[in-house]
Structure 1
Amino acid sequence: MRRFFPLLVILLAGCAAAPVAVLRPAQQDAPFAFNGRVAVKQGNAHDSAGMRWVHNAAEDEILLLAPLGQTVARIHRDMNGVTLDTSGKHYTAQDMETLMQQALGWQLPLSGLRYWVTALPAPNIESSLERDANGQVETLRQQGWEISYSRYAALASDALPLRLKLHRDGTEVLLLIDEWEAQ
């Protein structure tokens, strides 16, 4: 029994980890957090980064990360507006999309994406949805964007997506979510 005690401790410690969110929150614009990767293609320009996004209705914090985990850019939204810090420079604006385009040369549709990452359309804006046989959103169209969902965390119709591809006017964004965190 003594030989197996360290193994038992390790196994039990693994069970004590924080729960991973796999189902969509019941309310729209509910808090979420995830770690993942993003790749953006605009014409001949390609860019990619790791991503850490913590969201609640009052604010967002998005970290864009280099391959070894260093923060390349920090985007913060609250009721006072949006800031972006990168390479010792500080930018401010009223919306995230304009700020990202000015500072990074590309943009994510963050005002809609905060809903789309949970496979929901942004409220009060016309949209169309196509669902697969499991009832999961397969394609969402809104604000000129077509969002394709190709992988989910579970088979349930309210499971959180793990792979999204966004497309509009020559811009393609691939978002891979490695880990959802319970909020």
Structure 2
Amino acid sequence: MKPFKQFFRYVGALSLIGLLAACAPALKQPTTQDEATYSRAGRFALNVWDKTIDRNKDAVQGGFLWLDTRQRLELDLRNPLGSTLARVSVTPDSATLVHADGSQVTAENPDALVAEVLGSEIPVSGLRYWLKGIVAPAKVELEQRDAQGRLGSFTQAGWKVTLSDYDHKGPRKLGMVRNETFQTITVRLVINE
């Protein structure tokens, strides 16, 4: 499935769900922490296990920068050497993936964008909440909390999510697993800042 493989090389998941061309300016961390701005930076790793051949079908890793102003979400994805691969921009009206070569795909929301790019539905919009250590406003199952009352694990939208190593902004480690009929998708995020 070439579109699937290409998507994960450029978008890496999540998951879910890159940056303009390598010459485009990278998002900057805010100099002052505005309450309406939520930013995180770190590393991601994504693996797709193909159950039909019983081996890893695709794997990608790199860095990310997440900037959420409530009105707009920008997610930059970078390769392990720091070069920008793609940008995902989400507004209340649309979600757009812009590849490094300038080509882009636009959809109504992040989940529709993933469906458009992959040709199958894999919900990713919950990541906006999970990164903050909260569940998305949808059905949640198997919710577990740690001794401090913080989310430790839960299942939502077909994802088994584990959160740990909290700081003042939320979890610094996120693990997400989606077990489908023919494949298992695993995404790991480690927050550096």
The alignment's TM-score, normalised by the length of structure 2, stands at 0.67
In structure 2, the gaps of 5 or more residues are 1-30, 50-55
- Paired with 1:69 and 1:78, the residues of 2 have a C-alpha distance of 26
**Match status 1:122 vs 2:109:** no
Distance apart, 1:103 and its partner CA: 4.7
135-144 or 165-174, larger mean C-alpha shift? 135-144
Structure 2 counterpart of 1:34, which letter? R
Q: Which residue of 1 aligns with 2:41?
A: 35
Alignment check: 8 A CA contact 1:84 1:100 kept: no
- Paired with 1:106 and 1:46, the residues of 2 have a C-alpha distance of 19
Q: Secondary structure at the match of 2:190?
A: strand
Matches within 5 A, 1:1-183: 31-43=37-49, 44=56, 45-86=58-99, 87-100=101-114, 103=117, 109-123=123-137, 125-128=138-141, 129-153=143-167, 160-169=170-179, 170-179=184-193
Q: CA RMSD in A?
A: 2.8
Structure 2 counterpart of 1:37, which letter? R
State the identity as a percent: 32
The alignment's TM-score, normalised by the length of structure 1, stands at 0.70
Task: Please list the CA deviations of residues 26-59 of structure 1 after superposition, one character each: whole Å capped at 9, or x if unmatched.
Answer: xxxx631111111111112111121011112221
Q: Secondary structure at the match of 1:111?
A: coil
- Paired with 1:48 and 1:143, the residues of 2 have a C-alpha distance of 23
In structure 1, the gaps of 5 or more residues are 1-17
The structure number with the bigger radius of gyration is 1
- Paired with 1:36 and 1:109, the residues of 2 have a C-alpha distance of 22
Task: Please list the CA deviations of residues 96-138 of structure 1 after superposition, one character each: whole Å capped at 9, or x if unmatched.
Answer: 2443465589998441010011110112x11142111222211
Cα distance, 1:115–1:52 mapped onto 2, change above 3 Å:
same
